[in-house]
Amino acid sequence: MSPSLYQEVQHFYGRQMRHLDQGEHRAWAETFTEDGVFTANAHPEPQRGREEIEAASRKAGARLAEEGVRTRHWLGMLEVNERPDGSVEARTYALVLRTPKGGPTAVHLSTTCDDVLVRVGGRLQVKHRSVSRDDLQGS
Amino acid sequence: MSPSLYQEVQHFYGRQMRHLDQGEHRAWAETFTEDGVFTANAHPEPQRGREEIEAASRKAGARLAEEGVRTRHWLGMLEVNERPDGSVEARTYALVLRTPKGGPTAVHLSTTCDDVLVRVGGRLQVKHRSVSRDDLQGS
Amino acid sequence: MSPSLYQEVQHFYGRQMRHLDQGEHRAWAETFTEDGVFTANAHPEPQRGREEIEAASRKAGARLAEEGVRTRHWLGMLEVNERPDGSVEARTYALVLRTPKGGPTAVHLSTTCDDVLVRVGGRLQVKHRSVSRDDLQGS
């Protein structure tokens, strides 16, 4: 694994999470492949493809905007593994922080995030994401 | 943007925030350019130049020491963009954690931090910093 | 200090903390040198050598499993300094987050972590770790 790949993944996540937290729903969806899949132990069904991923983000964003809550997604403790086929396994811890207008900020969720990234037109995209919330143990 | 610039900015922030959190007020101020500007949506006026930046840090540090509170500034989710003139746009999320003697630790603030960095004598310095607290929405 | 060393240390910490948080006690101990030392201002005695480090991790892990609590160790704000003898000083801030079954997640501890890393068989290992809890000031 090259040092430049490691930081490229970090950079990618910085951009991706900013899209999510700023309600740039289309740009968020476009950080996934066309057929990207987003699964989570908190979701009854995976989100499949950019349309579903964008729609889910838009819905969640509208609810938070109504409540006047700002979210920040932090990813850290990155491990990267390059596969022979050129795809990239990227594992992170993810924290979701929420701040209502007037505060205070609170840690909303602690999760793990296991991605398979692929390169499309030179840029990384998420082909498969699996998010597991720490509070939903054994569920 | 080179991989080495990305990690150089990460390294710079590690050093800079340690100065701040350890009350090394002069060293903190010297991570800004001579004419560095620190603006924040929580401050009525920008801090302009190292003298003001050092004085503000010293004042805040004295208050926290009196209260027996230790702070930790975490920056993450870095995005870096190198401009044609060689200056660097660096955007991060920033968390401030506070721990009073005896605990517990709490998330004090969630902010964004948008910097313009320049290279002076081979080392990065902050020319302009803009910090926006998530709890002060629309204010 | 080379950019690749900086990201290698980040990567090492990702792997190491995952071992700790997932209860991989042997693998955790093996991220230390055979004679590795783990000191902390919260511990009456340092842990010396892999056997003690593994045993302590196993004991702490058993207690948390009993309580149904999941931990996540986040390291950040890394500073790296390579010494003339090839060993590496690595300083981080470390947060411990805890999530009981059903939530909520809370910041359990804020600490600093000062390591001396050495290369054994091409891979980084911790020769000496010193952890200082922010809540135990002056103790």
Q: What is the pLDDT of residues A72-128, one digit of tens each?
A: 999 999 999 999 999 999 999 999 999 999 999 999 999 999 999 999 999 999 999
Q: What is the mean pLDDT of residues A49-60?
A: 98
Cβ neighbours of A134 in C, within 8 Å: 70, 72, 99, 105
Q: Quick one: tokens of B89?
A: 């746009």
CB contact under 8 A, A3 and B3: yes
Q: What does B54-110 look like in DSSP terms, one character per residue?
A: HHHHHHHHHHHHHHTEEEEEEEEEEEEEE-TTS-EEEEEEEEEEEEETT---EEEEE
Query: DSSP code of A122?
Result: T
Q: Is residue A82 part of a domain?
A: yes
A13 belongs to a structural domain: yes
Q: How far apart are the first and last CA of chain B?
A: 34
How many domains does chain B fold into?
1
List beta partners, residue A106.
A98
Contacts of B13 in chain C (CB under 8 A): 77
B128/B32 Cα distance (integer angstroms): 8
pLDDT at B139: 47
Residues C83-87: what's their mean pLDDT?
95
Min CA distance, C51 vs chain B (Å)? 31
CB contact under 8 Å between A7 and C7, yes or no, is yes
Q: Is residue C97, in this structure, part of any structural domain at all?
A: yes
- Mean pLDDT of the B132-139 span: 85
Q: What is the pLDDT of residue C3?
A: 77
- Residues facing B108 on adjacent strands: none
C127 lies in which domain range? 3-133
pLDDT higher than threshold 70 for residue B56: yes
Nearest chain C alpha carbon to A109? C105
- Tens digit of each residue's pLDDT (9 = 90 or more) over A21-51: 999 999 999 999 999 999 999 999 999 999 9
Q: Report the distance separating Cα A128 and Cα A89, nearest Å.
A: 10
Q: What local confidence, expressed as pLDDT, does residue C116 receive?
A: 98
* A70 lies in some domain: yes
B79: in domain: yes
C138: in domain: no
Give percent above pLDDT 70 in chain C: 99
The average pLDDT across C62-82 equals 97
Tokens of B78: 């870095």
The CATH number for A57's domain is: 3.10.450.50
For residue C139, what pLDDT band results from cuts at 50, 70 and 90?
very low
On whether residue C32 sits in a domain, the answer given is: yes
Whole-number Å distance between alpha carbons of A56 and A64: 13
User: Does some domain include residue B29?
Assistant: yes
What distance in Å separates the CA atoms of residue B86 and residue B83, rounded to the nearest whole number?
Answer: 5
Indicate if ipTM > 0.85. yes
Residues B67-124 have pLDDT tens digits of: 999 999 999 999 999 999 999 999 999 999 999 999 999 999 999 999 999 999 999 9
